[in-house]
Amino acid sequence: MVSMLSYDFMQRALVAAMLTGLAAPAVGTYLVQRRLALMGDGIGHIAVTGVGLGLLTGWAPPLTAVMVAVVGAVLIELIREKGNTGGDVALALLFYGGIAGGVLVVGLAGGSAATLNTYLFGSVTTVSPSDVWVVAGLAVTVVSVSVGLMPQLFAVCQDEEFAKVTGLNVRFYTLLTSVLAAVTVTVAMRTVGLLLVSALMVVPVATAQQVTRGFRVTLGLAMGLGMVACLAGVSMSFYVNVAPGATIVVLALGGFVATWPVGALLRRRLRRSSPTEVRAVHDLETVPVTHPHQHGDDCGHPAVLHVDHVDYVHDGHRHTAHDDHYDEH
């Protein structure tokens, strides 16, 4: 441990990794809540063009990457907001255009495959002192906005329509989430790389969810897990000659695999009052009116949502309330 910390480059790598590990799951929680877990991946693809433009123009690649990523994230959000059937394909065009254009521009700028690799898969041990300040500034901004605006962001990501009727500017907050995601992609670019950044945004959240019931706890736990995975991944890569980005992601996934049985157990306990095997027959015969009780929340018979109504599982078949009797579904 002491030997690792005696190197300046390792100190910087650990600081950058810690901040990335905190920031990525903070934004990732909102993306997962909106069921947009792959959005970070799309932004990462688009940011490759930003890196290329940086190498071509001689500007700092993180700066151009963050600009292009923000533009891309806003575009993704606007396409998604329109919600028409072509949106899905439009997003695919944007993502692959981003990564192909990026690789092309890097080539034009005379960049080698090795240069490109440091952005695609991260290169945390080459973080310069000025990089640390940029990463720190961006990460602190992302974390403070994600945590400070938690009530608003939670409401918007939970239920957009309700949030609108409560007077929130839903468009502002959804665009803000996208911009935060874009900034996070750039922050994580040096640590895990553009192709793996989405994993760091999503996997700790998936792990935390296995054991949590509340949003705030999930957010906090995901940030903690992300930080631990990043610090452990960078440390491991110091002692064993492996790529830090991939190590971080594999560790994070390992955490998920390790907690999954716990989650499965908790879910099973919850489901004990719900059905596992239901004979799905629609023979619609009628159960006599003399059914001993009215099915409800606490009659002990498991409830199943069936298309537009609730059935109650009763001796291996399903009861549906129909006036004064139950139909068999």
Partner 1 sequence: MTPIVQVADVVVAQSARPVLHGVTLDVRAGEVVAILGPNGSGKSTLVKAMVGLLPLSAGMVQLFGVPLPRFDEWNRVGYVPQRATAASGVPATVREVVASGRLSRRRLLRPLRNADRAAIQDALDVVGMADRATDGVAALSGGQQQRVLIARALASEPDLFVLDEPTAGVDLPSQEALVETLRPLVERGATIVLVAHEVGVMHSLIDHAVVIRDGHKVYDGEPPTAEQPASFHGHAHPDRPTVHVPLTGRWPW
Q: Which of residues 232-261 bind partner 1 (CB under 8 A)?
A: none
Q: What is the DSSP letter of 125?
A: G
CA distances from residue 74 to 19, 141, 172, 202 in whole angstroms, order as listed: 24, 18, 11, 20
Among positions 75, 209, 236, 259, the unique one binding partner 1 when judged by CB under 8 A: 209
Count of residues engaged in binding partner 1, rule: CB under 8 A: 50
Phi/psi at 98 (nearest 5 deg)?
-60, -50
List 10, 15, 19, 29, residue binding partner 1 (CB under 8 A): 29
| DSSP 8-state secondary structure symbol assigned to residue 302 | P
264 binds partner 1 (CB under 8 A): no
Positions 137 through 166 that interact with partner 1 (CB under 8 A): 148-149, 151-152, 154-155, 157-159, 161-166
Specify the residue, 277 or 298, whose C-beta has the smaller distance to partner 1.
298
189 part of the interface to partner 1, by CB under 8 A: no
Q: Is 82 in the site for partner 1 (CB under 8 A)?
A: no
Tokens of 4: 């690792």
Q: Which residue's CB is nearer to partner 1, number 140 or number 284?
A: 284
The binding track of 46-75 with respect to partner 1, each residue x by CB under 8 A or -, is ------------------------------
Q: Which two tokens stand for residue 284?
A: 């619609």
Among 58, 167, 292, 300, binds partner 1 (CB under 8 A): 167
Residue type at 206? Answer: A
Contact between 37 and partner 1 by CB under 8 A: the answer reads yes
Residue 310's contacts (CB-CB under 8 Å, 6 or more residues apart) are: 303, 304, 320, 321
8 Å CB contact between 16 and 231: no
Residue 225 C-beta: closest distance to partner 1, Å: 14
Sheet holding 325-328, edge to edge: 286-287, 325-328, 317-322, 309-314, 303-306
Per CB under 8 A, does 283 bind partner 1?
no
Exactly one of 6, 35, 114, 300 binds partner 1 (CB under 8 A); that residue is 35
Residues for the chain: how many in total? 329
Residue linked to tokens 């399903």: 318
Spatial CA neighbour of 159 closest among 79, 215, 206:
215
- Give the separation between CA 152 and CA 161, rounded to whole angstroms: 13
Which residues of this chain interact with partner 1, rule CB under 8 A? 29, 32-35, 37, 148-149, 151-152, 154-155, 157-159, 161-168, 205, 209, 212-216, 218, 270, 284, 286, 294-297, 303, 305, 308-310, 312, 321-325, 327
